[in-house]
Amino acid sequence: MPKIVFTTVLLFLCSLLSAQKTIQIKGKIIDEESKVPIESATVYLTNPKDSTVIEYSITNKMGVFDFKLKKIAQPVILKVSFITYQDHKLELKELTKDHDFGTIALKSAINTLDEVVVKNETPPIRIKKDTVEFNAASFKVRPDANVETLLKQLPGVEIDADGKITVNGKEVNQILVNGKPFFDKDGKVALQNLPSNIINKVQVSDTKTKEEQKTGSAATSNNASINLTIDEKKNKGWFGKVMAGGGSDKRYESSTLINYFNNKRKVSVLASSNNINATGFSMDEIFDNMGGGRNSSIWMSDNGGFSINGRRFGGNNGITHSNLAGVNYADEWLKDSPMSMNYFFNDLQTRNENRTKQLNFLPSGNYETESWSNYKNSATAHNASGEFEIVIDSTMSFVFEPKWSRSLGQNKSNATQQSRDALTQLLNESTSDNYSENTSDIFGNTLSFSKSFAKKGRYLSIVFSNEHQKEDATNFVNSRTQFFQNVQPDDVRNQRNSTYNKYNQYSYDVNYYEPLRDSIRLKTSIYQEFANSKNGRSSFEYDAINQDYTNANDFLNNAYASKEQTFRPTAGLSSEKAKFNWSFDLGPQWTKMNNAVDYLGINTQLQKNFFTPYVESYISYRFTKSRNFWLSYNYQNEVPNASQLLPVEDLSNPLNTVIGNANLDASRRHGVYLNFRDFDYATRSGYGMYSGGNFYDTQIVSATAYDANRKRTTTYTNVAGTYNSWFGLYWNKSYKKEAHKFRYELRMATNFGLSKGITDGNVYKAQSVSLNPRVSFTYEYGEKLIVNPSYQYTRNITDYTNYVVESAANYLHRFNLQTTLYWPKNWVFGNDFGYTYNSNIADGFKKDFYLWNTSLSYSFWNKKFTAKVKVYDLLNQNQNATRTITATTIRDEQNVVLKRYVMFSLTYKLDKFGAGEKKESRRFMMY
């Protein structure tokens, strides 16, 4: 570690000493006729020999550009470009001193289109009405870099340690390739595995619904979408990677991604197998599937789980063996009617040992529960989805989106548990040995119809959707629970439980838009949903004589049925102007529920009707091309389910009896969100703030009562006046000085919440505050070195009212240092070093730990092959100890984690595009 730091500092100081003095150039861009300043025009310098971009800037709202660069003692061309204007060029013999170009007037293009492009002279950045377009060739990356590396070079784009992407402070929730998903809309497979040299343009725009895309309406979403367009020369051929590796402690990994592109036809196949807890797919150039550091959340959550088409898999603690395969197919079978299909197969095998210690706060006295368990589970899943668009004509189209999934699971576990009071007296003790199997099938479909009319702005859309779920499970329970504080008998179970769950849902949504005047449109909508569900349990005790599960347990047998109908007519207005957009929709919402349950031979029925207002609205104001404000408000409700409403006992848990509440009301909440952001492309700096929250008129919460043995009885009730809210600030800046690039980022995130609950009949309040400042710095030296240190501090404070404790608090320190050295030639040396400290971990659990991952790779045979050795958890200190604080508990938990291993791997890169094509290198750019 000291050698890495010393090398980094030495290179940094040497490069500063060798830096040459820079010069400044400036000027102002205006419209030739109106003399009005032109904001967001691209001003750039190129080499006349090969049109290589040397440096660029974007004009501010006054039309002014001002930037510094190294002296140029050779011919250079100054170019100015902006949509709907003719490009301006000025040839210079040299540029060796400060220069003021004065006022430059642009002439309107003869044919005023949305964009005027001059071949071979595309500017680095082009800012349109609602899209920022980056010319990929203008940004310098290594020849073997992936798309994620390219995105990190773009001004305003930030990618955090969890893989979340923001552009000018706006979170990216969709990544497309040539306008279509590449396996999934989150785009992580594309970012990690597509080579950057096949990308022509990176287009960033507001995320729109299909309706908004068809009508050209402004986006009502506050998220961003990235579309990667592939260079026409690279849109025909084969490319991909194949990797295999083996290591110590019988660790192994393998990954394959093969792509075939032929213009509009694209076929991609991926596969992965490993036993290093990588349940998603990654072929990262530094660590591949290794978790931790920069690769801690690739196409998965921070605990190893991942999601495909809304179905969640993995996410277990312990050691996981994973097998994954998938195929993506996109084409255009009919003219102007694109289609795409995906299929995934996943198989997971997980083993874990768990230790938990939980302190429970009660008005009648605290008690502590300690448990130990180990389990083994397996899950197999098939997932398929598609999107088919049929364009009838320029005004009418259908979109068909089916999805299907099937999952099979098995779980075997055994556990022991003890609960003791504050005087360490034993309250209850239990042991269990369980085995379960489950099968789940889901089929859904969305069919959309859209029609635009001759009158501009008049539009009709109809969306029909349906979803069908079926789940069956069998659970074998062998448990014994003892109670020590009264004469309550022990709970002994040796039983087989069979459960089922069926759900069917149908809905339609009709929207009609009618233009009024002054950009105002009227929107009328009708939404209706029909849903019915059935679920139940049949339980049989083991008969020792028959040696089978033949004795029905009527106290555990039940059958629920529920029918739900929701009807929501709404009307609203919207307005779209150059700077100011707004929209609101409001109306009543009725929900009718018919619930029934058969229990102990008695059929209990309950009908509930819920009526609430429905509101959706937003306001957006654009001060300049880069500075904007967003405010949204909604009022919605969430109705309780049948088990929360029906007043019957659920005795499936020996330590917790659950009873529904027939008087339960729906949760009703106000949702507010506001955001202000600004990014100056000229100075490569941005800042912003965001805030929001959910404020409940009424909220559904649990009400729990404990007996002397600390056995619980839980029901549900409504509370009012609760909320959860958040506030954040951020600032970032990037600049380049010759071969040195610097990026700074400061963030502050805070969360405030007020929750209420009921324990032993006492209503308590919990006021929580969380503070999360974070600082990050990135230094890059040419193509040789990247250093990225970051630090985050988290402080959690909870104050209680009418409770046994007054407050609880803890804090965490997280430090991470990532270094990547691309030197000597063909070598890559990567390191991720992290330190975490938790102040409030209980005795017996380690409060801090270091995690250091390192890798060294060498590319050979024209970089077709890469040999790599990597070490996970070099210091052998990795652990999984967590503390969770709620209003009623403090829970410390420790699970099995991967420990140190060494892995050797070999990667082969396939790269074969159009026949006879010469290899291209990424053009150089100063920034």
Distance of alpha carbon 543 from the chain centroid: 50
Say if residues 286 and 294 touch (Cβ distance below 8 Å). Answer: yes
Cα distance between residue 920 and residue 467, in whole Å: 48
Of residues 18 and 776, more confidently modeled: 776
| Residue 258, pLDDT above cutoff 60 | yes
Most trustworthy range by pLDDT among 10-19, 185-194, 360-369: 360-369
**What does the CA dihedral 755, 756, 757, 761 come to, rounded to 10 degrees?**
160
| pLDDT for res 920 | 41
Q: Are 43 and 56 in contact (CB under 8 A)?
A: yes
Mean pLDDT of 280-299: 56
Q: Please report which helix (H) or strand (E) contains residue 211, including its range.
A: helix 210-215
Per-residue model confidence as pLDDT tens digits over 545-574: 999 999 999 999 999 999 999 999 999 999
Mean pLDDT of 509-519: 92
What confidence score (pLDDT) does residue 725 get?
Answer: 97
Q: Is the pLDDT of residue 310 over 90?
A: no
Q: Which residue has the higher pLDDT, 410 or 216?
A: 410
Calpha distance 646→657 (Å, rounded): 14
The predicted-structure confidence for 51-89, as pLDDT tens digits, reads as follows: 778 888 888 888 999 888 888 889 999 999 998 899 899
| pLDDT number for residue 253 | 93
> Amino acid identity, residue 750?
T
DSSP secondary structure letters along 876-905? S----EEEEE-SSEEEEEEE-----EEEEE
- Model pTM? 0.83
919 pLDDT exceeds 70?
no
- Burial pattern 355-389, b for ≥16 Cβ within 10 A else e, equals bbbbbbbbeeeebbbebebebebebbbebbbbbbb
- What's the CA gap between 709 and 45, in Å, rounded? 78
State residue 804's pLDDT score: 77
175: enclosing H helix or E strand: strand 170-177
The phi-psi region of residue 876 (left if phi > 0; otherwise alpha if psi is between -120 and 50; otherwise beta) is left
For residue 672, pLDDT beyond 70: yes
pLDDT tens digits for 347-374?
999 999 999 999 888 888 889 999 999 9
Q: Is the dihedral of CA 706, 710, 716, 717 positive or negative?
A: positive
Cβ neighbourhood burial of 842 (10 Å; 0-12, 13-18, 19+): middle
State residue 290's pLDDT score: 65
pLDDT digits (tens, 9 = 90+) for 737-767: 778 889 999 999 999 999 998 999 889 999 9
Look-up of token digits 């007996």: 707
pLDDT tier, 882 (very low <50, low <70, confident <90, very high otherwise): confident
- Indicate left, alpha or beta for 4 from its phi (over 0: left) and psi (-120 to 50: alpha): alpha
Tokens of 425: 């007296």
Structure tokens at 611: 């009526």
Q: Is a pLDDT exceeding 50 seen at residue 642?
A: yes
Structure confidence at residue 292 as a pLDDT band (50, 70, 90): very low
Which residues fall within 8 angstroms of residue 536, CB to CB, at 6 or more apart?
Answer: 499, 500, 557, 558, 559, 560, 598
Position with higher pLDDT, 328 vs 886 = 328
Q: What per-residue confidence (pLDDT) applies to 303?
A: 33
Per the prediction, the chain carries an average pLDDT of 86
pLDDT given for residue 845 in this prediction: 65
Segment 771-789 shows an average pLDDT of 93
